[in-house]
């Protein structure tokens, strides 16, 4: 599933694609239902709300956690979650033929097309009146690349928390956008045991964890994110950060930093990778 770096890569590319302020001429929705949904009680895309985008234009595109937000000129917001395999592509004129698994298409007045393709159909699409008032976005935690995520904040929120540091980093209600891949890589960079309780972290260690979090995420964004199976950017290209993994997916292999071996353990239903020697 795409994590913060992959979503940020897509948002930055779309921001540069010059579709903002272009009038939406047509909206098309696949008849096949999505498995995921912003509203759990409704597994279908809210076609009436989505079709209301016609005649309007996007003012800006932003990221919040793992969500892509297209802010519309009439103050509505189109929310898209890429799910496990979703991609957003922008076709230029002459490249308008659709593909299998295109579930959502926006045609602009200048001839270009924005397509949401999702073979596994776990993506989410919804139009809301105001993004900050939507329940899903409202409960998201602090952005790890923002100034609010700092040593003082982290030290304060961990004092009464007995969770292990790995699942703590992945708790989107506290810190949004970090998934299994980057949590493992961040903790290796910080030299921190993934099973350690966060309430035991010192202020200095919180500062180290914040710095390494920002470093790993920025580095991954520069490399275009990570492509393990499905992720592609808006130009259809794969990311390259997977070639820089130090621990994730490397269980049983030698550590590149020491003479130890990368271990793997289950944590909260996910596999954690770490070096027992480097991460005391």
Positions marked active-site: 2-3, 66, 270
Contact, 41 vs 102, CB < 8 A? no
Residue of 38, 17, 184, 188 whose CA lies nearest to 106: 17
Cβ count within 10 A of residue 219: 14
Distance CA 36, CA 49 (A): 17
Q: Which residues pair with 262 in a beta bridge?
A: 275
Residue 267 dihedral angles phi and psi, to the nearest 5°? -145, 115
Sheet holding 77-81, edge to edge: 58-64, 67-72, 77-81, 124-128
Distance CA 76, CA 131 (A): 8
Residue of 145, 155, 157, 131 whose CA lies nearest to 219: 145
Residue 7 dihedral angles phi and psi, to the nearest 5°? -65, -40
DSSP conformational letter for 133: G
């Amino acid at each position: 599933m795409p994590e913060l770096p992959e979503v940020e890569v897509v948002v930055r590319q779309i921001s540069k694609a010059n579709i903002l302020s272009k009038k939406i001429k047509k909206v098309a929705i696949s008849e096949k239902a999505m498995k995921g949904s912003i509203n759990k009680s409704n597994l279908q895309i809210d076609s009436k709300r989505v079709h209301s985008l016609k005649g309007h234009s996007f003012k800006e595109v932003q990221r919040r956690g793992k969500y892509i937000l297209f802010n519309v000129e009439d103050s509505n917001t189109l929310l898209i979650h890429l799910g496990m395999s979703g991609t957003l592509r922008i076709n230029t004129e002459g490249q308008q033929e659709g593909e299998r698994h295109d579930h959502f298409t926006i045609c602009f007045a200048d001839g270009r097309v924005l397509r949401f393709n999702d073979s596994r159909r776990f993506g989410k699409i919804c139009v809301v009146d105001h993004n900050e008032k939507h329940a899903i976005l409202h409960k998201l935690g602090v952005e790890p690349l923002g100034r609010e995520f700092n040593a003082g904040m982290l030290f304060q929120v961990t004092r009464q928390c007995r969770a292990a540091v790995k699942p703590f980093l992945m708790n989107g209600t506290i810190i949004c956008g970090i998934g299994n891949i980057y949590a493992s890589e961040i903790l290796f960079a910080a030299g921190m045991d993934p099973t350690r309780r966060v309430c035991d972290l010192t202020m200095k260690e919180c500062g180290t964890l914040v710095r390494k979090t920002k470093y790993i995420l920025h580095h991954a964004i520069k490399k275009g994110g990570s492509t393990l199976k499905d992720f592609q950017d808006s130009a259809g290209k794969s990311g390259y950060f997977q070639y820089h993994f130090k621990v994730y997916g490397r269980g049983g292999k030698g550590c590149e930093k020491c003479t130890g071996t990368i271990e793997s353990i289950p944590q909260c239903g996910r596999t954690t990778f770490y070096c027992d020697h480097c991460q005391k």
